Structures are given as structure tokens and as C-alpha cells.
Amino acid sequence: MVLLIPIIQNDYILLLAYGIIIISLFFIKYVKLDWLFFTFALVTMTASEALFISTGVEVFERNSLFGLMPIWLPVLWAYVFVVMRRLVKVLEN
């Protein structure tokens, strides 16, 4: 999904592409509570990134969400959290 960032320059089209990819991957393999974990991570990462950006440590040229960050960034982070959760479950077995 990261490889799409330089290819798709429009943040909203990239968000749509991420949405299609994530929904497709959830249909292919859904682990119990994935949507809940994704939603929690989405809200948490949006707030965390906004706080981090407000410190001035990080600046984005693409700032379609609240004028701070790309709208697709929290979605990407949220799915990364889902993947990390799945990986931990695999490693535990």
C-alpha cells in the first residue's frame, strides 16, 4: 500500500484505493474483532498524528485532513495495526 503513495497523487483517490484494498483483504480473511481494532486504531492514530504534527516535529506537504496530514495516513496506520495484531497472534502459536 505504501508503494501507491507516489503513484496516486490525489489524496482522496488514494483513500478510496486504500478503502477498496482494506475491505477486500477483510473479505479474504477476517479475524474476529478486526473492524473494532481498525476503528480504534483509526481514531487513536488520527489524534496521535495530529498531536505529533502540532509539535512541529513533522510536517506534511499533503495536508487534506484538518490541514495537517494526508487523509489516507490514519487509514494506513490503522490497517498496519490490524496487520501487527494478526502477526502477534501468528507468533504466539
35-41 average pLDDT score: 95
Q: Alpha carbon of 42 to those of 6, 7, 90, 93: distances in Å? A: 22, 23, 23, 27
Report field, pTM of the whole predicted structure over 0.85: yes
What share of the chain in percent tops pLDDT 70?
Answer: 100
- pLDDT tens per residue, range 14-34: 999 999 999 999 999 988 999
28-45 average pLDDT score: 94
Answer whether residue 93 shows pLDDT above 80. Answer: no
Any idea where the domains of the chain sit in the sequence? Answer: 4-92
Q: Helices 73-92 and 11-28 sit at what angle, rounded to 10 degrees?
A: 20
